[in-house]
Structure 1
Amino acid sequence: MGTHRVRRAVAAAALAVAVMLGAGGWAAADAQTAVTGPPPGSAAWTADTSLGLRLPDPATASAAEVAAFFAGLSPAQQDELIARHPLVAGNLDGAPVELRYRANALALAAARTEELSRAADPALTPEDHRAARTRAERYGTLLDGHRRILAFDPRGRGQIAEVYGDLAHAAHTAVIVPGSDIDLLTYDRASDPYGTPAGMARALYEATAATGTGTGTGTAVIAWAGYTTPVGLGPDAATERLAEAGAARLTALLDGLAASTRPQAPAALFCHSYGSVVCGLSRPGPAEASRLVVLGSPGMGVDSADELDPRVPVFATARNDSDWIGDVPHVRLLGLGHGADPTDPAFGARPLPATGSHGHTGYFAPGTASLAAYAALALGR
C-alpha cells in the first residue's frame, strides 16, 4: 500500500472514531467488561453428587452432551436439579427449553427477592436503593406467567433471552441479535420499541403469523440480549472486543438450539447495528444458521461476504436515508472500524428492500418492506 493510501486509511479510521464518539448526540462511555464463562453457580453445580451422577461441566460440556445428559433424567430428577441450581440450568445451552423456562422463573424470583432486600437495607445508599428497586421491578415484569425466558444472567448490566412462539416444536426459528445499549433493563422498552430485541422479535413473530399459517405456531423468534453490548458510541462501539466475546456466546446459543430443538432448518439470524459485527465474527456454518440478515450495519468485521461460510446466504437491508449509521466510515484499520459496507454490491450480500422504514431502528416497524422480507426469510422462503 502506497504512502498516500496509508495516510488516507489512517485518516478514515480517525474519522470513524470521531463519528462514533459524536453520532446521534451520544457521548462516549466507560469501557464495558464483557460477561464471559459459565453461568453463576457453576462451581456448586459441578460439585453436586446428590443424583449419583456426574453433572456436565458448564464450562466444557458441548450442547450435545448437555442434551444427552438431560434426556437420561427422569422428570423428578430434572425438577430436583433446577430447584437447586436454577441459574445454571436456566442458562445451560442444550438443556430442554421447557426446563430452562422453569429454571429461569425460579432464578428471577430469587433475584427479585434479593433486590427487594437490598432496597430496604439501611447500610446501602439511596442510589443503591433506587437501583435495587429498578431491577426488582424488571424481574417482576419478566415473571409474568406468559413469558418464556430462555436465559437470565444478572451479572454486569444483566443479560436476557426471551422466546416468542413454541420453540420446542417450531418448524422455523429466528434469532434477533441487537446492537449497542441493550441489556437486561433496556432490551424491552416502550419508547423506540423496534430498536429493542424484544420489540423486533414481537414484530417478526406477528409478521410470520400474518404471512404464514395464520397462527404463528410454525415460527419461534428469540429476542437475544445475551452478550455485553457497547454503551453509547465510544471506543467499544468502534472496536471488535465486545463483539468477539458476543460471537462466542451466540455460537453457544445456536449449538444449544441445534441440540435441544428440531426445526426444519437452523435459525435465521437478524443482526442489527453492532450486532451485525457479532454475527459476522461468529461465522456460522449451515449447522448453526440457515441465513444471516444484517440491518443498520456498520460492517461485519469482514471485508466481503466471501470471508463468511458460503453455505449460509447473507442478506443486507438497504439503508434508509434517515439512518445515521450511513455517516460512519466503513474502514477497518489498527483495530478500529468494522470493515466494508454490507449494502455495497461489491460486498456480495443479497439486497433486501427497506421502503417505509425510518431511522436507525425502524426496519422492523409494521408495514415496512424490510419487515415483510424478514418474515419471508424467517419462514424459509
Structure 2
Amino acid sequence: MRRFRRTLTIAALTALLVGTTAGWASAGGVDAPGGAPPGTAAWRADDSLGRDLPDPAAATPAEVAAFFAGLTGAERRRLVEEHPGVVGNLDGVPVPLRYEANSAAGEQVLAYDPRGRGLIARVVGDLESATRVAVIVPGADIDLATSGRTERWAEDLRAAAGDDTAVIAWAGYATPSGIGPDLATGRLAESGAERLTRLTEGLDAAGLPDPALFCHSYGSVVCGLAASGTDASDIVVMGSPGMRADDVTALGTDARVWAAVSEHDWIRRVPHVEILGLGHGADPTSAAFGATVLAADDVPAHDAYFTPGTSTLTAFAAIADGAL
C-alpha cells in the first residue's frame, strides 16, 4: 500500500507539473555549465606577470580579491583587455573591472557567459556605494535571451526600495527549460546553489553588505540548497515548489526566511513532496516550515510578485532596505 501511494504521488506531481505549465515547449535535460569561465585556458597559460594567475576553478573569491589588490593599475587594465571572459565572471574581482570587462554586453553587467543558453547578471543601482544589496534568483526558462524579465523585477524592486539599495538581477545559473525532469529534480539547483554561494562570497570579498536573496519559483530550490553556504541577511521565496528542506532549521542559515504564495498561483497545485529525488519538499508557507509568511492575496499570477502596487513588492522593498 505504501509503495502504491508513493507511485500515485509521483504520478500526480509529474502530471501537475506538466498540466500547470501548459504552453511551455517540451524540452530535454539542460547542461549545467562548468565552474570555469570562458577563456580560462588562455588565462592559465598567461605568465606575463611573472607569477601564476589565480585559478578560476579553484581560487576562492577572497584569494581573487587579494590578488587583484596587489596589482598595479596597468596590470589590471591589461588583464581586462586580454582576458575579459575571466575577469568579467570571476567572483572576487573588483566590481568596476567586471563592468569594464563585460561592457560589450551592456552597462553594469557583473557577469556574462554567452556559452549555451547563456548567463548574465546585471546590477540596478550603485553597487559599490549601496548600504543594502538584494539578489533576485529567477526560476525556470530564464537565460540570456529571456533575462529581461528578471531585470525588470530588479528595476521595480530597486525603485520601491530606494537609492541606497542595489539589486542584482542574477540569471547566473542554468535554469530548467520547458517541461522535463529538470523542473522536478534538484540537479540544476545544486549547480546553481554552488554558483550563488560563490556570488555571495564575492560580494563579501568586495566589502559589500550581506545580501537579501529574493528567490522565485525554481529559484527557491536554488536558494534552499545554497542557504547554509551564504551569509545572506534574508531569504525570501515566492511561488515556491519547495526548498529541499523540511523546515527553516534544516536550511542551516542565520538569515531571516520569508515566504509568499498567491491564491492565484498555479504552484499551489503542485504537491509539496520529495520522493526518489522527484519534487522539492515542504511548502515554505506552511506553519510547520517556520518561515514568516507574507500576504500575497493581490498577486494575480505566478510571475507577478514584483508587480508595482502589490503587497508583496511593498514587503520585498521593506526587507531589501532594512525597514522590515
Same fold (TM over 0.5): yes
1:251 to 2:177 alignment:
no
**Could you tell me the percent identity over the aligned residues?**
55
CA RMSD of aligned residues (A): 1.3
Contact 1:67 1:94 in 2 (8 A): yes
- Count of residue pairs brought into register by the alignment: 322
Post-superposition shift, 1:321? 2.0
Match for residue 321 of structure 1?
A: 263
User: Quick one: which of 273, 276, 281 aligns to 2:217?
Assistant: 273
Post-superposition shift, 1:353? 1.3
User: Quick one: which of 238, 245, 253 aligns to 1:295?
Assistant: 238
Match for residue 13 of structure 2?
A: 16
Read off the aligned partner of 1:291 and give its amino acid letter.
D
Post-superposition shift, 1:6? 4.1
TM-score by length of 2: 0.96
Match for residue 280 of structure 2?
A: 338
1:156 to 2:156 alignment:
no
Match for residue 223 of structure 1?
A: 169
Contact 1:90 1:99 in 2 (8 A): yes
Question: CA–CA distance in 1 between the matches of 2:176 and 2:18?
Answer: 12
Contact 1:21 1:235 in 2 (8 A): no
Unaligned runs of at least 5 residues, structure 1:
109-141, 189-195, 210-215
Alignment partner of 2:285: what SS?
coil
Alignment partner of 1:43: what SS?
helix
Match for residue 187 of structure 1?
A: 147
TM-score by length of 1: 0.82
User: Quick one: which of 308, 311, 315 aligns to 1:366?
Assistant: 308
Contact 1:174 1:270 in 2 (8 A): yes
Post-superposition shift, 1:235? 1.1
Deviates more, 1:57-66 or 1:354-363: 354-363
1:198 to 2:141 alignment:
no
1:99 to 2:42 alignment:
no
Q: What pairs with 1:35-46 in structure 2 (closer than 5 Å)?
A: 35-46=33-44
Deviations 1:278-335 (A, max 9, x none): 00011235x6200100001000111211201241111001x22221111111110011
Deviations 1:35-58 (A, max 9, x none): 122101112112111122321110
Post-superposition shift, 1:207? 0.3
Read off the aligned partner of 1:278 and give its amino acid letter.
V
User: Quick one: which of 303, 306, 322 aligns to 2:249?
Assistant: 306
Question: CA–CA distance in 2 between the matches of 1:271 and 1:42?
Answer: 30
Contact 1:305 1:348 in 2 (8 A): yes
Alignment partner of 1:98: what SS?
helix
Deviations 1:144-175 (A, max 9, x none): xxx20000001110000000111112111000
Question: CA–CA distance in 1 between the matches of 2:75 and 2:253?
Answer: 43
C-alpha change, 1:91 and 1:219, in structure 2 (3 Å) is: same
Q: Which has the higher helix share?
A: 1
Contact 1:315 1:351 in 2 (8 A): yes
Match for residue 114 of structure 1?
A: none
Contact 1:21 1:28 in 2 (8 A): no
Deviations 1:117-167 (A, max 9, x none): xxxxxxxxxxxxxxxxxxxxxxxxx43xxx200000011100000001111
Match for residue 126 of structure 1?
A: none
Deviations 1:216-264 (A, max 9, x none): 1x1110000000000123211011101001110111111001001332x
Alignment partner of 1:82: what SS?
helix
Pick the structure with greater CA Rg: 1
Post-superposition shift, 1:10? 2.8
Match for residue 187 of structure 2?
A: 241
